[in-house]
């Protein structure tokens, strides 16, 4: 009497592995682009909020203006929000720093410094503050620009 032993199959066949890999690839093709798109849009919103008049940089500039009587000049730049410019060291009006951290840390979400001009060319009674966006290039205000500015085109 001979007993037949059935062999149990263990593991996966090549076709099963390829099928699962294909399904995962199709899912990734739909999900990954959406995640990257959301990350870029989130960074844009953070930048817009930071440079707005009621944003973190905007509020610091307003506090500086309130104390000093004017916005920092283009030459003083945003660094004046962290420590007084050399001409203002003895100026008792300076109540800063107006932002926490240090000037080297003040970068847009893509790791590039914010651009600042005062008096502004667009906001003549105030300042122009902008980021060149993810490509870090001046797009010259042309259509499709990814620059983020504290002004609207006229």
> What structural domains and CATH numbers belong to the chain?
20-149 (3.30.700.10)
Report CA Rg, the chain.
27
**Token pair for residue 105?**
């840390």
Cα separation, 58 vs 129, in Å, equals 9
Neighbouring-strand partners of residue 130: 115, 149
CA max distance for the chain: 107
Q: Which segments within 21-127 are labelled E, that is strand? A: 115-117
Q: What are the mean pLDDT values of the chain's consecutive 10-residue runs (154 residues total)?
A: 59 86 87 73 88 89 93 92 72 86 88 92 89 76 71 60
Residue whose pair of structure tokens reads 């990257």 in the numeric block: 36
Run of H or E including 130:
strand 128-131
Q: Is the pTM of this model over 0.85?
A: no
- Reported residue count of the chain is 154
């Amino acid at each position: 009497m001979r007993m037949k032993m059935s062999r149990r199959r263990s593991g996966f066949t090549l076709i099963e592995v390829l099928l699962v890999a294909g399904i995962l690839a199709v899912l990734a093709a739909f999900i990954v682009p959406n995640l990257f798109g959301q990350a870029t849009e989130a960074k844009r919103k953070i930048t817009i909020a930071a440079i707005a008049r009621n944003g973190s940089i905007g509020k610091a500039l307003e506090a500086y203006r309130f104390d000093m009587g004017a916005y920092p000049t283009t030459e003083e730049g945003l660094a004046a929000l962290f420590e007084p410019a050399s001409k203002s060291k003895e100026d008792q009006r300076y109540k800063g720093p107006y932002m926490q951290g240090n000037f080297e840390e003040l970068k847009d979400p893509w790791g590039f410094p914010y651009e600042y001009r005062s008096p502004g060319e667009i906001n003549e009674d105030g300042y122009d503050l902008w980021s060149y966006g993810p490509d870090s290039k001046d797009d010259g205000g042309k259509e499709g620009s990814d620059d983020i500015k504290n002004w609207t085109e006229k």
